[in-house]
Amino acid sequence: MSETTEQADRTAAEASNADERGRYPLQVRNLKKTFGGITAVDDVSFEVEEGTLTGLIGPNGAGKSTTFNLITGMNDPDAGAVRFNGEEITRLASHEIADRGLVRTFQIARELEEMTVLENMMLAPKNQRGEKLWRSVVPGLRDDVRRQEEELLERVWEVLDFFEIDHLAEEYAGNLSGGQRKLLEMARALLTDPDMLLLDEPFAGVNPSLERRLLEHIHELREDGYTFLIVEHDMDLIMNNCERVIVMHQGKILMEGTPAEVKASEDVIEAYLGGEV
């Protein structure tokens, strides 16, 4: 291919990227990651449509968590690119990616178990979007500081209320049930008011009634325009709740489609039967 053709192709690709900006906020292109001899993520490309709940499924070891880590800057890819809202975010630090509105949930760290739910929430924005709140504070302007703190506190209560854990504000995070912890993890992520959330097995260890509540919250947020990419083990849960499903197997994308299409796929059935699920 001549240089000018390549250039023209690239310009066309950029133009189509621009067209799709907004419609497909997350675009993953040819991501690759090896660990020693293992290719955990092998030429993975997909996009996530704005305002959808998209599921990422696949047998154990398929490369789902590694893909999440590459997208959110926890790991650098060996090759490939990630774009968010039309901007290249490959190899940015996690907090820089969060600043741009793409966040993942984190398990509550051990140190934070000894803090209350409220304290956990007040700490959450640091290194994330809300850090702007602190950075923008001019030393000496006490009223400003107070106003910023009040705004943060107001947002904290709003989010706690949304997840119906406001009554647990003074409880130590370490005393929460598995499900309540998941709610707090989501609440912390949401505090920064992201555009898109990546959830890695958000229902693990959650009892059925809390799972239903968590799902209701996710659907409610989706209707408000948030976009979700969810890794989940429970195939039925993904099939019943997601509009789009991406299937990974042995580091590669096996298929992508609607739940009905994925369910009907021989390749998917084989991948699940062949591997440990």
Select the residue whose beta carbon is closest to Mg ion and give its number.
Answer: 65
φ/ψ of 23, rounded to 5, equals: -70, -40
Closest by Cα among 82, 72, 57 to 249:
57
Residue entry with tokens 């030429």: 43
Q: What is the DSSP-derived secondary structure letter of residue 216?
A: H
Beta carbon of residue 55, minimum distance to ligand ADP (angstroms, whole number):
13
Binding mask of the shown chain, residues 23 to 62, with x at each position contacting Mg ion by CB under 5 A: ----------------------------------------
- Residue 67 or 120: the one with the smaller Cβ distance to ligand ADP is 67
Buried (b) or exposed (e) across 213-227, using 16+ Cβ within 10 A? Answer: bbbebbeebbeeebb
Which 57-86 positions form the footprint of Mg ion (CB under 5 A)?
A: 64-65
Q: Is 214 helix (H, G, I), strand (E, B) or coil?
A: helix
CB atoms < 10 A from the CB of 50, how many?
A: 18
Binding mask of the shown chain, residues 243 to 262, with x at each position contacting Mg ion by CB under 5 A: --------------------
Beta carbon of residue 200, minimum distance to ligand ADP (angstroms, whole number):
8
63 binds, among ligand ADP, Mg ion, none (CB under 5 to 8 A by kind): ligand ADP
Q: Which residues bind ligand ADP (CB under 6 A)?
A: 35, 38, 40, 58, 60-66
- Residue 17 or 65: the one with the smaller Cβ distance to Mg ion is 65
35 binds, among Mg ion, ligand ADP, none (CB under 5 to 8 A by kind): ligand ADP
Whole-number Å distance between alpha carbons of 166 and 54? 29
Whole-number Å distance between alpha carbons of 260 and 57? 14
Interface residues with Mg ion (CB under 5 A) are 64-65
